[in-house]
Amino acid sequence: MIDWSTKKVIILDRDGVINHDSDAYIKSADEWVPIAGSLSAIATLNQKFKVAIATNQSGIGRGFYDETVLSNMHHKMAQLLQEQGGHIDHIEFCPHHPDDGCDCRKPKPTMLERIAEIFNATPDQVVFIGDSKSDYDCAQNFGCDFVLVLTGKGLKTLDKLAGKDITIEKSLAKLTEGINHGLL
């Protein structure tokens, strides 16, 4: 059970947690579509925590889109979040192809380490929310709590993590309902 009262920073995976994911990659701002309730959930999280994103964006390394397009996606997300009274405090992304051998691609903990450093947080003050095994492994490698959401790849990941002691939520919106009821 996560003790939310000790947390300072919530780190979110992007695709499959905040927005709908695609096996063909999200390649434009038009393709970036939020999951129902995710943006208002972030606004709720903003009331108690710093909120950051750690996302692998290998579509850049694969040549499907460039950093300008990624920036446009994040600008759209920021505008839609603002309409909900929310914001993202920081975004870390890995632009590399999985075969590049970089130091930042999840499940390596580099992006989480950078975010924690920015907000002067220790791993025990961080929760990482994701939908994939690499998200879970990244949280394990960093030493922070992890929440698996069943949106995106979450249902498939649930099978891969069978037997692990993890917190599971239907969606980011369902997770934040607990904040509204004083449970977090």
Question: Which tens digit of pLDDT belongs to each residue from 15-39?
Answer: 999 999 999 999 999 999 999 999 9
Contact criterion met (CB below 8 Å) for 141 and 116: no
Query: Dihedral, CA atoms, 182, 49, 47, 79, nearest 10 degrees?
Result: -130
The confidence band for 101, taking pLDDT boundaries of 50, 70 and 90, is very high
Rounded distance between C-alpha atoms, residue 44 and residue 9, angstroms: 13
User: What letter does residue 124 receive in the DSSP assignment?
Assistant: G
Report pLDDT for 50. 98
Is 138 annotated to bind a ligand? Reply is no
pLDDT for res 95:
98
pLDDT digits over 37-75, tens only?
999 999 999 999 999 999 999 999 999 999 999 999 999
Q: Does 15 appear as a known binding residue? A: yes
pLDDT at 1: 83
> How does residue 86 score in pLDDT terms, banded at 50, 70 and 90?
very high
Residue 23 annotated as binding site: no
3-state secondary structure of 21: coil
pTM for the whole thing?
Answer: 0.96
Q: 4-180 maps to which CATH number?
A: 3.40.50.1000
- The catalytic site residues sit at 13, 15
pLDDT over threshold 60, residue 184: no
| Strands of the sheet with 167-169, listed across from one edge | 90-94, 50-56, 9-12, 126-130, 145-149, 167-169
Query: What pLDDT, on a 0 to 100 scale, did the predictor assign at position 182?
Result: 61
**Cβ proximity of 77 and 32 under 8 Å:** yes
For residue 91, give the H/E element and its range: strand 90-94
Alpha helices in the chain (DSSP H): 38-46, 58-61, 67-83, 110-118, 133-142, 154-160, 172-180
Domain boundaries, the chain: 4-180
Residue 180 banded pLDDT, cuts 50, 70, 90: low
DSSP state of 35: P
Has 181 been labeled as part of a binding site?
no
Report how far residue 112's alpha carbon sits from residue 54's, in angstroms, rounded to the nearest whole number: 7
- Using the predicted structure, report yes or no on whether residue 13 has a pLDDT greater than 60: yes
Residue 100 marked ligand-binding: no
